[in-house]
Amino acid sequence: MTSKDHRSAGYRSATAGGLIALLLWSTTFALARSASEQVGSFTAAAAIYGVSAAAACISLLFVPTKLQQMLRLPRLYLGVCGLLFVLYMIALYIAIGLAHDRTQTLVVALLNYLWPALTILLSLPLLRVKATLLLLPATVLAIAGVALVLMQGHDLSWHALAVSSLANPAAYLLATFAAIAWALYSNLTRRWAGGSGPGAAELFLSATALAMLLLSLTSHEPRGWTIRAVAEVTAMGLANWTAYRLWDTAMRRGNMSLVAAASYGTPLLSTVVSCLYLGVTAGGSLWVGCLLLIAGSVLSWVSIRVPVRVQCSPEKETHDPAHQPVANPRCRK
């Protein structure tokens, strides 16, 4: 097999991994809410990411050189992206814990799923992607979907939107912050560590587990452990380790635009899974808002027309099937 074949196989593998990560993430809110109700949001998060970190550390034992490779990754990637990763997790789990009931958990989840549209929007300044004017109505459509979700069946008016938003402002703001943090993480990962060896998902998961443990130790939560809670925490911990590792690789070496496009269906899948697992009946406005959010995100992806350009020497560059140039290893950004 030629080096080109190896690159192509790695590219397809990274892309497939990103798609699998999306399927695993569709169970996040259902399992996280159920576990949080039993043992508290911080305790559940600490246990979940403790399982993820343990799995990550065990995986490193089979590849002794990987830790050294991770520590040689760009410092900006390790520092800034690592911080964004941890902040995203903390904000998300606090938002889930602050939701007054399971129906509000669905709202928190859909606010979090603003990140696909925000990833595309932030790729313009961060990755020098160019887009058509379609991006403007696409963004408005996504925001309108979120607004409809927040209104929960109330009459369409600015007053009704303000009242609905104030039903739980802390949870909703934290979910929105989480969406922004993850969009930044995805773009900056591509910018600072795209294609440069292994990712640092194992380090980020371990840092998250430590942060959640400290928060759990300083909070007063029920911690009513049951067999179900243990099973949910274990399943989600292993799924998280797998998903974040696959996502990190997809963002650095896979077809980022294809994975981003597929991620637009995650809000709908996550809502369906949450409704079934948590026994929640979502109102019509939530479903319509979910579909508007997906439509706006898809149109955002469609609006991209020019690939990221990297300053390079006269040597030949290679291009991936998504029309995103992959710079020659000797190129300098």
Condensed to tens digits (0 to 9), the pLDDT of residues 247-268 reads 878 877 888 778 877 877 888 9
* pTM of the entire predicted model: 0.81
pLDDT for the residue 129: 87
Q: How confident is the model at residue 237 (pLDDT cuts 50, 70, 90)?
A: very high
Around 241, how many Cα atoms within 13 Å sit in the side-chain half-sphere? 23
Encode pLDDT of 180-220 as tens digits: 999 999 899 888 887 656 778 889 989 999 999 999 999 88
The CA radius of gyration of the chain, in Å to the nearest whole number, is: 20
Assess whether pLDDT exceeds 60 at residue 324: no
Question: What does the block give as tokens for 156?
Answer: 């369409």
Q: Which of 38-42, 148-152, 169-173 has the lowest average pLDDT?
A: 148-152
State the Cα torsion 123-126-132-136 to the nearest 10°. Answer: 70
pLDDT for the residue 201: 81
Assess whether pLDDT exceeds 70 at residue 332: no
pLDDT for the residue 68: 86
Assess whether pLDDT exceeds 70 at residue 329: no
pLDDT for the residue 159: 65
pLDDT for the residue 137: 92
**Measured between alpha carbons, how far is 3 from 11 in angstroms, rounded to an integer?**
12
Whether 116 and 297 have beta carbons less than 8 Å apart is answered as yes
CA 50 centroid distance within chain: 19
Assess whether pLDDT exceeds 90 at residue 174: yes
pLDDT for the residue 96: 93
Mean pLDDT, rounded, for 35-39: 93
pLDDT for the residue 98: 92
Question: What residues are paired with 325 via a beta bridge?
Answer: 319
Quick count: other Cβ atoms within 10 Å of Cβ 177?
A: 19
**Measured between alpha carbons, how far is 172 from 27 in angstroms, rounded to an integer?**
20
Strands (E), 38-114: none
pLDDT for the residue 206: 92
Mean pLDDT, rounded, for 164-191: 91
Strands (E), the chain: 130-131, 304-306, 318-319, 325-326
Mean pLDDT, rounded, for 162-175: 87
